[in-house]
Amino acid sequence: MKIVAAAKILKANDQLAAETRAKLDAVGVFGVNLVGSPGAGKTTLLEALLAHWKGERWHAHACRGHATSMAPPRPAVIEGDIAGSIDAERIEKHGVPVVQINTQGACHLDASMVAAALADLDLGACDLLFIENVGNLVCTAGFDLGERLRILVLSTSEGDDKAAKYPAIFQSSQALFVTKTDLLPQTNFDLQRITADFRRLVPQGAIFPMAAIRGEGIPAAANWLAEKCRR
């Protein structure tokens, strides 16, 4: 009985997610589901990307803005957290439309939460929608939110054994953003090991190492994302 119910919930989620994907496609909005552990650096990554596209100063660094001939994407953000609005407030400072979802205890976003949040966004005014999931390397894996791209954010300080220990989330992601590479000298994280592990699970997956706090690696990731959302 329990298993049947769980399958039903997942089916309803998948159906809703497919509808969201079709809706976003119809208005030319590229959805990105950002997943990762608590503290992996998902919000800092977003802040660095937003600063890059706006050519803003980011920490001590003056961002050079969009390096290609294309106009930068117009981003919007949905923030998923159990409680509070810390992350949404950080995003808001960058002048980008943001909606905070409070899951009130739930350990992941689902398609119905995202569908509800979409009602509060002007989809005509954006073409790249980031959905920052609850910090969780387990429960977020099974829930399609209607995105076109799932990015797994993994920080070097978490260790390089995570693909072996949390295979589902790696397997369901199309890109791996390895954050906090500025901490590499202080950790025993092996970039080659995680690259090999991810490639084994997702042969076509993209990998971007970065130190978002310093803006390092951000231009490459930003350009790749901008091209993705233009296809």
Question: At its nearest, how many Å lie between its own copies and the CB of residue 175?
Answer: 18
Would you say the C-alpha torsion 167, 172, 176, 178 has a positive or negative sign? negative
Interface segment toward its own copies; rule CB under 8 A; list 47-55, 63-71, 121-129, 137-145: 137-145
Tell which one of 73, 97, 135, 209 touches its own copies (CB under 8 A): 135
Q: Does 155 bind its own copies (CB under 8 A)?
A: yes
> Residues 23, 39, 61, 149: which binds its own copies (CB under 8 A)?
39
Q: Residue 7, interface with its own copies (CB under 8 A)? A: no
HEC readout, 189-215:
CCHHHHHHHHHHHCCCCEEEECEHHHC
Q: Is 53 in the site for its own copies (CB under 8 A)?
A: no
Task: Choose, by CB under 8 A, the member of 3, 4, 26, 83 that binds its own copies.
Answer: 83
Contact track, its own copies, 198-217, x by CB under 8 A: --------------------
CB of 92 to its own copies, least distance (A): 16
Least distance in angstroms from the C-beta of 139 to its own copies: 5
9 to 2, 6, 110, 114, 221: CA distances (angstroms)? 11, 5, 10, 15, 34
Residue 148: Cβ within 10 Å count = 17
C-alpha–C-alpha distance, residues 231 and 228, integer Å = 6
DSSP line for 104-120 = TT-SS--HHHHHHHHTT
Tokens of 137: 């390397």
- Does 139 help bind its own copies (rule: CB under 8 A)? yes
